Amino acid sequence: MSVVVEGSRSFMSTLMLEDLLPPKHDDYHTMLRFLKARKFNTEKAKQMWADMLQWRKEFGADTIMEVAKFKILNLKKRKV
């Protein structure tokens, strides 16, 4: 089995065991980016992942569409 596949499985297992893998972020390619960024060091990638989840929570990145108020503009075509 390739190092990439084995590393990503190990990383996913670690995240699941520590309750750091919400369904919304259960994405192989995203996890792989975090692993590559930390040269496949799962502990460093896990810390980076946890920091990302905390940042998303603090700034409401996952709920912005539910809580944001948008002003609807009524744009009509003008006759020229």
**What pTM value is reported for the model?**
0.76
Q: In this predicted model, what pLDDT tens digit does every residue of 1-47 receive, in sequence order? A: 577 788 788 899 999 999 999 999 988 999 999 999 999 999 999 99
Residue 72 lies in a domain: no
pLDDT at 57: 94
Domain total in the chain: 1
CATH number at residue 53: 1.10.8
Residue 25 lies in a domain: yes
Q: Using CA atoms, how far apart are residues 54 and 33, in angstroms rounded to an integer?
A: 18
Q: Domain range holding 28?
A: 3-67
Residue 78 lies in a domain: no
Residue 31 lies in a domain: yes
